[in-house]
Amino acid sequence: MRTSVFLGLALLVMVAGMPSPAQSQGLHCQAVSVETCAMAGKLGRGINLGNMLDPPREGDWGYWLLPEYLDKVAPLFTTVRIPVRWSNHAAPTEDAALDERFAGRVDKVIDSYLAKGLYVILDLHHYNQLFGDALMPNEYPVAAEVLETRLVNIWQQLAERYKDRSDKLIFELLNEPHGKLNGEPWNALLARILKTVRSSNPTRTVLLGPTEWNAAKALDKLRLPDDRHLLIAIHNYEPFNFTHQGIQYLPKPFPTGTKCCNKQQQQMITDALDLAQAWSKQHGYPLHIGEFGAYKAANMDARASYIRFVRDEIERRGMGWTYWDFASSFGIFDTKTGIWIDPLRRALLD
C-alpha cells in the first residue's frame, strides 16, 4: 500500500515537472492560463480568408466567401482567420449598431467552420479612419470624436453575440494597428476594448498585437492589462521588397523580379521571429504568426521557396500560423478553376 502511494506520488512529481506539450514546443506561457497556452500550441496551420469580408462591401474586390470553400479548407487546416471590416457594417454613430443582415452572414460563416472543428479567429480588419488612413471607395466616414468609441461598441456587440460559441472562437481585437494608433494610443484603446469584451466573455481567448502593423519590433511598446487569456499576434512580411513586389497600390511600388531567399533574406525573416520569441520568453505570452505571404507577381518557384522557409522557421519555434491568404492576390487557391495552386499548397503543407 505504502509503496503504491509512494510510486503514485513519485509519478505525480515527475509528470508535474515535465513540460506541457505547448512548453515543449518552445511556447512561453508564464503570463497566461494553462488553457490559453494549450490553445496556442494547437492552432497549428491556418489560413486567412482574406479580401472576402474585409473590403468595404463583400465582393468589392472580386472575391466572395462561398460555402463550397469550407470543404476545401477544413481538411487541410486547423485554424481559419476571418478578417471582417465591421466598421463599414455598423452605424456611423457612436453606438455603432451592427448591420444585422451582414452580421447574420458572418454568423453562418463562423458557425460553419466551428462545426468542422476548426479554430476560428474573428479578426476586426481595416478600420482605416482610425489609423488616419485614406478611406477606400464605398467606405463611409464617421465623426472623429466617435471613432474609438465605435470600436469599443462594435466589440461590445460582437462579444455579446458570440459569448455562447465554442471556446475555439478567438476574438482578434484589431488587425495591424498603425499610424495614429502607434504606441500609447493603442495601449489605451486595447485596454478599453478588452474590459468590454471581458464583461461577457471572461475567459475567451483574445488575440491582439503590437502597433506598426503588428511588427515584432514594436512589441516592447505594447502594454497589456492583467489578463490570463491573451495570445499575441505578429505579422511577418520580410523581405518586404520580395513579398510585396509588383503591388501597384503601394505609394512606391517595388519592381518585380526579386527572388527569395538568400542568406541575407533568410536572416531578415528569422531576426523578426527571434525578436518576437525573445519578447515572448521575457513576458510569458505565447505568439501566433497571423500573417505572412507573397504577392502573386513574384516568381512561382521563389514564392514556394519563401513559403516553405517561413513555415519551417515558424514551426521550428513552436508557433502556429495563418497564411495570408486563401484565394486572393497572395493566395494558394484559384477561385476561377476551383483548384489549389499546387506548388504553393505543397510548400505550405507538405
Q: What is the largest CA-CA distance in the chain?
A: 76
- Determine whether 165 is exposed, middle or buried from the number of CB atoms within 10 Å of its CB (0-12, 13-18, 19+): middle
Q: How far is the CB of 235 from ligand BGC (least distance, A)?
A: 7
By the 8 A CB rule, do 274 and 214 touch?
A: no
Q: How far is the CB of 238 from ligand BGC (least distance, A)?
A: 12
By the 8 A CB rule, do 287 and 86 touch?
A: no
Query: CB atoms < 10 A from the CB of 323, how many?
Result: 28
Residue 136 vs 152, nearer CB to ligand BGC: 136
Residue 37 vs 289, nearer CB to ligand BGC: 289
Residue 20 vs 256, nearer CB to ligand BGC: 256
Residue 22 vs 232, nearer CB to ligand BGC: 232
Q: How far is the CB of 172 from ligand BGC (least distance, A)?
A: 11
The site map against ligand BGC for 237-276 (x = CB under 6 A) is ----------------------------------------
Residue 125 vs 168, nearer CB to ligand BGC: 125
When asked if residue 176 is in the footprint of ligand BGC (CB under 6 A), the reply is yes
Q: How far is the CB of 29 from ligand BGC (least distance, A)?
A: 26
Q: How far is the CB of 162 from ligand BGC (least distance, A)?
A: 22
Q: For residues 61-120, which are near ligand BGC according to CB under 6 A?
A: none
Residue 227 vs 325, nearer CB to ligand BGC: 325
By the 8 A CB rule, do 238 and 268 touch?
A: yes
Helices (H), 138-262: 147-161, 184-200, 211-214, 240-243
The site map against ligand BGC for 112-141 (x = CB under 6 A) is -------------x----------------
Q: How far is the CB of 35 from ligand BGC (least distance, A)?
A: 28
Kindly determine how many residues on this chain lie close enough to bind ligand BGC according to the rule CB under 6 A: 5
Rounded to whole angstroms, the Cα distance separating 151 from 129 reads: 11
Q: How far is the CB of 54 from ligand BGC (least distance, A)?
A: 6
Residue 139 vs 291, nearer CB to ligand BGC: 291
- And the C-alpha cell for 79? 485554424
Residue 186 vs 324, nearer CB to ligand BGC: 324
Label the pairing between strands 333-334 and 339-340: antiparallel
Q: How far is the CB of 293 from ligand BGC (least distance, A)?
A: 6
Rounded to whole angstroms, the Cα distance separating 296 from 112 reads: 29
C-alpha separations of 249 from 185, 217, 312 in Å: 27, 25, 30
C-alpha separations of 228 from 35, 129, 206, 320 in Å: 9, 31, 10, 19
Sequence-distant (6+) residues with CB within 8 A of 303 are: 260, 294, 296, 343, 344, 347
Residue 55 vs 318, nearer CB to ligand BGC: 55
Query: CB atoms < 10 A from the CB of 111, how many?
Result: 15
Q: For residues 185-224, which are near ligand BGC according to CB under 6 A?
A: none
- And the C-alpha cell for 63? 472575391
* Binder among 291, 305, 313, 323 for ligand BGC (CB under 6 A): 291
Write down how long the chain is: 350
Rounded to whole angstroms, the Cα distance separating 307 from 303 reads: 6
Q: How far is the CB of 324 from ligand BGC (least distance, A)?
A: 5
Q: For residues 298-327, which are near ligand BGC according to CB under 6 A?
A: 324
Interacting residue ranges for ligand BGC, rule: CB under 6 A = 125, 175-176, 291, 324
